[in-house]
Amino acid sequence: MKSCGSMLGLRGLRLPPAGILLLLPFLQPRVLPAAPAPHRASYKPVIVVHGLFDSSYSFRHLLEYINETHPGTVVTVLDLFDGRESLRPLWEQVQGFGEAVAPIMAKAPEGVHLICYSQGGLVCRALLSVMDEHNVDSFISLSSPQMGQYGDTDYLKWLFPTSMRSNLYRICYSPWGQEFSICNYWHDPHHDDLYLNASSFLALINGERDHPNATAWRKNFLRVGRLVLIGGPDDGVITPWQSSFFGFYDANETVLEMEEQPVYLRDSFGLKTLLARGAIVRCPMAGISHTAWHSNRTLYEACIEPWLS
């Protein structure tokens, strides 16, 4: 322990006469003790998975918000399948992201949080299905087409300039089309039979098509502590926007909410069970466009921050 002299910067100076030393006990209370180190809560690590044509740079604002509200949180924005590489088949991306998140989970016995944006929300949901020992506390699905996409967007016009949504099934429901990530969750409500037979990704993780891993995947998915669904009517990309909440079109293009969807009624991958145990949080918010979900501070404080324990 340092002496009073060294604490006050007096080392090397000549000490005062003995008479003055007698006054030190009365002077000491004026020397403020060192403040105890503030207690810092230990927050679970956060893993962020980007969307179509994105990169880790897109999440710099989200990273700042987390650091401000939950200082000390270890946040990993996975820098995989950036830009055009995000068009790679989703099962390939699931494997790559899975290899990246496994060691992070292994070092976090208390669990981790997943924040997964747009297409990344489907990658993360598949990860929750195929990882036997995942320890995800909160899975935050940030404007993700969880029940699929059926809309003409700039992305589709760039990728398939001669096709509109009404005939895109001819491409997407072919073996060649399924090599593009967008087609892995293209969901044409007017060609449901083709979707069920051709979809190599969404129909499988939804449990809409029989496969030998269905029971195990459902069990794995139900390991999640909480499912937070975020989206809104002004998104401009996710079509219908209710897909972010597991709603989708019927054959008449009327939106059926999650509780009306066959996958929910059959509880094919665990949605009904999660809702019954109070583990689904829905956070709709108007006025936010698709590319602003991860940079809007109001959205972060209302829909993301409360679940980053």
Measured between alpha carbons, how far is 182 from 155 in angstroms, rounded to an integer? 9
Identify the pLDDT of residue 154: 58
Catalytic site residue 188?
Answer: no
**In whole angstroms, what is the distance from residue 299 CA to residue 309 CA?**
17
Confidence (pLDDT) at 236:
94
Q: What is the mean pLDDT of each run of 10 residues along the chain (309 residues)?
A: 38 40 40 42 92 89 97 96 95 98 96 98 98 97 98 62 76 95 96 96 96 97 98 96 98 97 98 98 98 97 97
Query: Which of 54, 137, 188, 235 is an active site residue?
Result: 235
Exactly one of 113, 187, 191, 290 is catalytic; which is it? 290
Report pTM.
0.84
How much is the pLDDT for 39? 41
Residue 153 confidence (pLDDT)? 63
Q: Of residues 50, 86, 113, 118, which has the active-site annotation?
A: 118
Is 70 noted as a catalytic residue in this protein? Answer: no
The predicted structure's pLDDT at residue 5: 40
What is the structure's pLDDT at 151?
83
Confidence (pLDDT) at 165: 76
Examine the residue annotation and report whether 118 is marked as an active-site residue of this protein. Answer: yes
Q: Quote the pLDDT of residue 156.
A: 59
CA distance 151 to 239: 5
Q: Enumerate the domain spans of the chain.
A: 46-149+211-307
46-149+211-307 to CATH, choices 2.40.50.100, 3.30.360.10, 3.40.50.1820, 3.40.630.10: 3.40.50.1820
